[in-house]
Structure 1
C-alpha cells in the first residue's frame, strides 16, 4: 500500500472513530475549537481560524453554537473591545473529558496493533506530520 492510500484510509478511520465518541453531536469543527481552547487557553478568533485552517465565517458560526451550549465564553479585549478573547468553560472541559474517555478505546487498539517500537515511531511520525500540516496552513494564511 502506498503512502497516499494509507493516509486516506487513516483519515477515514479517524473520522469514523470521531463520530463514535461524540456524545453531544457537536460538529468536528466545534470539537477542534474546544480541543484547541483547552490546549491554548484564551485565544482570539482570528488566531483560532488560522490554527484550524477555517474561514472566519465558519468559525464564527461554530463559536456561536458552542457559546449557546455553554461550552465557551467570550470576553472583550481590554485594549480593543471589538476583539473577543475566547476560552473554554467548565462544561466544555467536562464534554472534552467525556470524549477523551471514549478515545481510550482508540488508544487501546493502537497499543494492541503496534509493538512498543512501532508505537514510538508512529507517535513521532504523526507529530511530525501534524506539525508540518499546521506550519503549511499558517504559512499559506500569511
Structure 2
C-alpha cells in the first residue's frame, strides 16, 4: 500500500510535480494512469493549465498517494487548515485505505460531481424552455 506523502509546493502544479517525483513516477506514467496526455501533465505542472478537471485531480492524488484536498489547497494554506481542522486524523484515515478503496472513493466523488452537473443542465433547460 502506498503511504501518503507530505504535500509541498506553493501552487497546484508545483505540488503535483513534487509528489510525482517523490513517488518516482514519470510524467508519462502519471498521464497514462490518469487518462490524459503527458503534455497535459506537463502543462498542469508548469502552471499553464488554469482549470483541471475534478476527476483528473482525484486520479492524480490517488496515483501519488496524496490527500486530494491537500493537493488542491496545499497543506500549509489557511483554506486547508480552516476546512480540515482534523488534519492528522484525516491523513491517517486516508492512509489506511487500500488502493481499491481509494479508487472507489474517487469514483463516488466523480459520480457526485456528474450528478450535480446533470442537475444544473436540467435546471438550465427548464429556465430556458
TM-score greater than 0.5 by the shorter chain:
no
Instruction: Indicate the structure with greater strand content.
Output: 1
TM-score (norm 1): 0.30
Bigger CA radius of gyration: 1
Structure of greater relative contact order (alpha carbons < 8 Å, 6+ residues apart): 2
TM-score (norm 2): 0.32
